[in-house]
Structure 1
Amino acid sequence: MSERTPPVKLIILDRDGVINLDSDAFIKSPEEWIPIPGSMEAIARLNQAAYRVVVATNQSGIARGLFSMHALNAIHQKMHDAAQQAGADIDAVFFCPHAADANCDCRKPKPGLLHEIASRYEVSMKGVPTVGDSLRDLQAGYVVGCVPFLVRTGKGIVTEAKGGLPPGTTVFDTLSAVVDHLLTPA
């Protein structure tokens, strides 16, 4: 009799505005990366519930020359360190370094990053929760079958006010509130 591996439970989070404070001037250095209160603890609770937490983020500041790959790696190292200090683990970070006019497949709202995640984890994106603060985050997930969650942190309040959210989008104040919802037994 062969043992069956349990299916991977994934959640996909945008970075800026969901995990950390956002800035219209971009997060260009580790010093500018500041976690939203409660976000690291929310990720730890997801891990405790057997979720693998994956980040999918547009980082056009690289193409714009605002920061280097070295700086981006240092920012992500700070994020991983902050997660570990809270007892959390971010499994992977997928990012698009291209500018909006590059017409690449990986820049959200296009679903390229999500296809990469599906391929890496050998899973369908159908039903995978995706959390973002902008319409493009939700659109990228929706087209591949993810369940969209909008948070009001970052650009979320403005995004909610503009409307036009993908069908089935649920809105919460914070990532922590999304996690409360996901971990509450039905």
Structure 2
Amino acid sequence: MKGKAVFLDRDGVINMDHGYVYRPEEFEFIEGVFDACRHFHRLGYLLIVVTNQSGIARGKYTEQDFQALTEWMKARFASEGAPLAHVYYCPHHPDHGKVDERNCNCRKPRPGMLVAGIHDYGLTAENCIMIGDKRADMEAASAAGIGRRVLVKSGQSLSPSDLSTAHSVWPSIHEATRAILA
């Protein structure tokens, strides 16, 4: 299979979603995330994070704060044998920040970050997987043509209509890994 990646939401998939996390001491990795990502990496999948970061537009933290945390997170993944190819992020929010950025194409459920990853890395969308914890993650993946959409319950509360947007639903990324690749 050529040109494949696992797109990962951050808060609720990689780390516990404590709200506007931007410092390493607040960042709590979800149990089993490194095992799952190592497994995908060994199978030849690129690991790409796609994350809405409205805390930047809301003034909760700066892009520099986010970048510092991202570099720390990438170093942890690399040291665990699961290097992240890229971290795409949307710093916008429709109700906050600069007016000309409020209707961006990168904020999920829009597909901009996924489309950028597909383009930048020469991926075949049908060969890719999106793992997220929100309906918006699944809607972005669907709009980008991602072949497999997986919701995990380690982040948000999900309604029956949210669940219907995914191909499968699992308690966390760790439990989903074997089933996704079966």
Shared fold (TM-score, shorter chain, > 0.5): yes
Alignment size in residue pairs = 175
CA-to-aligned-CA distance 1:64-89 (integer Å, 9 cap, x gap): 11111121112112211221232211
Aligned to 2:11: 16
- Written as runs of structure 1 = structure 2, the 5 A alignment for 1:30-179 is 30-101=24-95, 102-146=102-146, 147-155=148-156, 158-159=157-158, 161-167=159-165, 169-179=167-177
**Structure 1 unaligned spans of 5+:** 1-5
CA-to-aligned-CA distance 1:58-113 (integer Å, 9 cap, x gap): 00111111111121112112211221232211111001011133111100001111
TM (norm. structure 2) is 0.89
- How many Å apart are 1:17 and its aligned residue? 0.3
- How many Å apart are 1:129 and its aligned residue? 0.9
Whole-angstrom distance in 1 between the partners of 2:52 and 2:79: 25
Q: Is the 8 A contact 1:138 1:165 kept in 2?
A: no
SS in 1 for 2:56: coil
- How many Å apart are 1:127 and its aligned residue? 4.1
Q: Is the 8 A contact 1:22 1:154 kept in 2?
A: yes
One-letter amino acid matched to 2:140? A
**Structure 2 unaligned spans of 5+:** 96-101
Q: 1:93 to 1:45 in 2, by over 3 A?
A: same
One-letter amino acid matched to 2:30? I
- How many Å apart are 1:162 and its aligned residue? 4.4
Which shows bigger deviation, 90-99 or 119-128? Answer: 119-128
One-letter amino acid matched to 2:39? R
Which shows bigger deviation, 133-142 or 81-90? Answer: 81-90
State the percentage of identical aligned residues.
33
